[in-house]
Amino acid sequence: MVEAVLIDLFSLPAGLHNDIQGVLRNTLETIEKCSSTPDPFVYVMCCQMPESERKGEQESLLPALRDFQSMKKGLEVVCAQTTAAVLYTIKQILDEKDFSIIKIILPSLRKELMKVYIDHLFTPVYQFEFEDLKVASDCNNLQTIGPKSEEQTVSTQDVALIRSEIQMHLESLPSLKGELTILKSSLIPDDIFLHGFTTRTGGISYIPTLSSCNLFSSSKRRDPQAVVKENLRRLANAAGFNPENFHRVKTDHANAVCVMGKTEPDSYDGIVTNQKGVTIAAPGADCIPLLFADPVRKVCGAAHSGWKGTLLGVSMATVNAMVSEYGCNMKDILVVLGPSVGPCCYKLPRESAEEFHRIDPKCVRQFDSAAPYIDIRRATR
């Protein structure tokens, strides 16, 4: 069932600009009379360009809203200079309410363009359906605004302009939860290697379960790739690397290692390289992000080590790749463990804990309990 309805009043045909109140009133009447969703949340999207005839559009729409008291708790006008800005603002509202099933009512010629915006600003978590904007309130006799075409296409130039518009909007947003902070180790020489560990601050991700500097997007998350790309751009600016040459491991919670320049595995938790100007990275949270640096051979590596990867020896596999592929001497390799979960807070079932106990009894606390505490950092060292 549809949880929210968006009414797109951007790019109305010229003949309807003077009757925008009427168009909105008719659309709201249609929603009120004909919608299968009782009392849906409704968001009206409109353009508000500085120094233009449409500058007061938001104010001009307010009279049309007064007749719809039954919708009042969920009826809101959202105006901005661009479609990207309006959609991103509405996305924040939808995410706060945990809505994911959305209907968009819009001029038929806007549909394919809107799909491009959605592809870049949303993820498969959301479900969208589209309905043509109408000019009559009779459910059985509705007239579509603009010509209806079955073969609408969006040009490559249009897609590029939309991407640029989205990028400009995201770049304009303030950092959340504080400034972007990079933690460094004194062990790795700065004159040879650029390195560091990010924290949870300084990006633009606002989803409560994610850090504001989130650097990972998936079909199961609400943070889109465009936001992750902006977070990476900000990190690159702060750290001094080129985001176009950024390579992150494709985690599988195992011990496979990718050697840059060779065929890339489908998944891997370690990566090594001797290429200049290339940035490699591994994620961390509960799991440990590890950095490896050989200042003699000028080789570096990164690895993601969760409890499974720790038991499978992903750290040693990364070291072995540096030795075998680049001729590193093991004694020259410096290894730094980044922030991760500590033994105070990490439990595993007894069966898994026994494997850590075999590595070192000190890796396990309360060994006789059903879910002992595990020190994966000690096990890695």
pLDDT for residue 153: 85
pLDDT band at 137 (very low <50, low <70, confident <90, very high): very low
pLDDT band at 202 (very low <50, low <70, confident <90, very high): very high
Please check whether residue 326 is in contact with residue 370, taking contact to mean a CB–CB distance below 8 angstroms.
no
pLDDT for residue 12: 67
pLDDT in tens, 301-358: 999 999 999 999 999 999 999 999 999 999 999 999 999 999 899 999 999 999 999 9
SS3 272: strand
In the predicted model, what is the mean pLDDT of residues 124-148? 70
Please check whether residue 228 is in contact with residue 204, taking contact to mean a CB–CB distance below 8 angstroms.
no
pLDDT in tens, 366-375: 988 999 999 9
Q: Which of 206-210, 245-249, 254-258 has the lowest mean pLDDT?
A: 206-210
Residue 56 pLDDT greater than 80, yes or no: no
Tokens 């440990």 — which residue?
288
Fold (CATH) for 173-340: CNF1/YfiH-like putative cysteine hydrolases (3.60.140)
**Smallest Cα–Cα separation from 136: which of 146, 126, 144?**
144
DSSP-based helix, strand, coil % in the chain, nearest 5: 35, 20, 45
Residue 144 pLDDT greater than 70, yes or no: no
Determine if residue 375 is left, alpha or beta; phi over 0 gives left, psi from -120 to 50 gives alpha, anything else beta.
beta
**pLDDT > 90 in the chain, percent:** 67
pLDDT band at 134 (very low <50, low <70, confident <90, very high): confident
| The two structure tokens encoding residue 214 | 């989130």
d(CA 338, CA 342): 11
CATH for 4-136+152-167 is 3.40.50
pLDDT for residue 285: 84
Same fold flag, 4-136+152-167 and 173-340:
no
Query: How far is residue 208 from each of residues 4, 35, 94, 225, 377, measured CA to CA in Å?
Result: 21, 32, 13, 17, 27
d(CA 310, CA 374): 12
pLDDT for residue 172: 97
Residue 277 pLDDT greater than 90, yes or no: yes
pLDDT for residue 237: 96
pLDDT for residue 9: 85
Higher per-residue confidence, 55 vs 196: 196
In the predicted model, what is the mean pLDDT of residues 182-188? 95
**Smallest Cα–Cα separation from 259: which of 249, 275, 271, 248?**
271
pLDDT for residue 126: 97
Residue 10 pLDDT greater than 70, yes or no: yes
Identify residue 334 by its one-letter amino acid code: L
Identify residue 82 by its one-letter amino acid code: T
In the predicted model, what is the mean pLDDT of residues 281-299? 95
**pLDDT > 70 in the chain, percent:** 85
Higher per-residue confidence, 351 vs 139: 351
Residue 199 pLDDT greater than 70, yes or no: yes
Which H helix or E strand runs over 47? strand 41-47
Which residue stretches of the chain are H helix?
Answer: 20-34, 57-65, 83-96, 111-121, 156-172, 225-239, 307-312, 314-326, 350-359, 376-380
pLDDT band at 59 (very low <50, low <70, confident <90, very high): low
Share the mean pLDDT of the chain: 88
Residue 142 pLDDT greater than 50, yes or no: no
**Are β-strands 373-374 and 364-365 bridged in parallel, bridged antiparallel, or unpaired?**
antiparallel
pLDDT for residue 235: 96
Please check whether residue 79 is in contact with residue 86, taking contact to mean a CB–CB distance below 8 angstroms.
yes
Please check whether residue 292 is in contact with residue 193, taking contact to mean a CB–CB distance below 8 angstroms.
no
User: Quick count: other Cβ atoms within 10 Å of Cβ 192?
Assistant: 13
In the chain, where are the structural domains located?
4-136+152-167, 173-340, 341-381
**Smallest Cα–Cα separation from 379: which of 365, 359, 355?**
359
In the predicted model, what is the mean pLDDT of residues 81-102? 95
Phi, psi dihedral angles at 250 (to 5 degrees): -105, 90
pLDDT for residue 22: 74
* pTM recorded for the entire structure: 0.87
pLDDT in tens, 169-178: 999 999 999 9
**Are β-strands 257-259 and 288-294 bridged in parallel, bridged antiparallel, or unpaired?**
unpaired
d(CA 375, CA 378): 6
SS3 346: coil
Phi, psi dihedral angles at 236 (to 5 degrees): -60, -40
Higher per-residue confidence, 205 vs 56: 205
